[in-house]
Amino acid sequence: MKREKWKNIFLVTLSAVTVGAALAGCGNTADSTTGNASAAESAGTAGNAAESNGTSDNTTETAGTSGGTAEKVGASDSSAEVTVIKGVTGGSLAPYFYVDENNNLTGVDIEIAQEVFDRLPQYELQIEIADALQGVLSGQYDIAINNYGYTEERAESYYFSYPYKTTYNEYIQRVDDEPLTSLQDIADRGYKIELGAGSLTANALEEWNAENPEHTIEIIYAETDFQVKFQHIIDGVTDVAIDDGPILDTLLGKFGLEGQLVGNDIDPDTEDFLFPKNNTYFLFGKNEEGAALREDVNRVLKEMKEDGTLAEITEKYFGKDTSPKAEYFEETIN
């Protein structure tokens, strides 16, 4: 499948979805989407995407179980049949997935998915904007493309692909604050951090406190969204957040907080302590069809890791290679 063909297909699909619905659902971070911080689920639920229009008059649904929506499309220039794969993403969360000024869906997650299916000519990928988790669980969609991290709860209902990128986090601080250098630095400055009880970040800092009684970090437990959490830092109620770095500029713009907060780097050892295996995955229905699609997608993801394509795409969006380590392409996580 050629990339231009994929783009044209998406434009047809996108026309059935309002831009407002596409932009709904922003305000998430790694605990919801990649398993890091304690924000709400990234999959937006405002508005349901319309059914895909298809690309051929002789498109027919395949007979199957409740676990998939794949359709067979007769190719006009070949005797081979192409299976339509319905993908779903939750809305707008740049740079992962968002609608650009031309009403095209783009972003690092979307571009990686596009490249995967460009290399699988037996499939034709169509993406809609809807509730990603529920959409795959119900069988309405075949693959969720939504910056999802691994959790045991999700693994009960979904198959996970090989990882396609590794996320990274930053210390979110006031712009006039001296950049933090470590967890001990947070403790020694007497800084407060606001976290949801049971989140991965809270669990990691509780472990830090237990192991470092002379350098304990003060945790304020609260279930707050990004906007409230960021405002608390600006107001001095708290002093720092540890959140998904790539989406910070998007969220600050959304909340009108530009120029008041900044993200500062977390060193690799601290990142590994806080968020081991901090990868993101495509999700499939946990059924025979989902297993088969995952196998095909995984084969290409491993190829893209080996030939440098994952590194190239992630560097384009993040300014550095955030492709997962090669060891994660040997065995699926569930």
Task: Report pLDDT for 68.
Answer: 56
Whole-model pTM: value is 0.74
CA distance 147 to 58: 34
CATH code reported for the domain at 169-274 = 3.40.190.10
Q: What are the tens digits of pLDDT across the range 289-323?
A: 999 999 999 999 999 999 999 999 999 999 999 99
Q: Give a three-class secondary structure readout of the chain.
A: CCHHHHHHHHHHHHCCCCHHHHHCCCCCCHHHHCCCCCCCCCCCCCCCCCCCCCCCCCCEECCCCCCCCCEEEECCCCCCEEEEEEEEECCCECCCEEECCCCCEECHHHHHHHHHHHCCCCEEEEEEECCHHHHHHCCCCCEEEEEECCCHHHHCCEEECCCCEECCEEEEEECCCCCCCCHHHHHHCCCEEEECCCCHHHHHHHHHHHHCCCCCCEEEECCCCHHHHHHHHHHCCCCEEEEECCCHHHHHHHHCCCCCEEEEECCHHHHHHHCCCCEEEEEEECCHHHHHHHHHHHHHHHHHHHCCHHHHHHHHHHCCCCCCCHHHHCCCCC
Copy the structure tokens of residue 185.
């630095």
> Is residue 27 predicted with pLDDT exceeding 90?
no
CATH 3.40.190.10 holds for 3-167+277-329: yes
pLDDT tens digits along 171-189:
999 999 999 999 999 999 9
pLDDT the model gives residue 80? 73
Higher-confidence residue: 199 or 33?
Answer: 199
What residues does each domain of the chain span? 3-167+277-329, 169-274
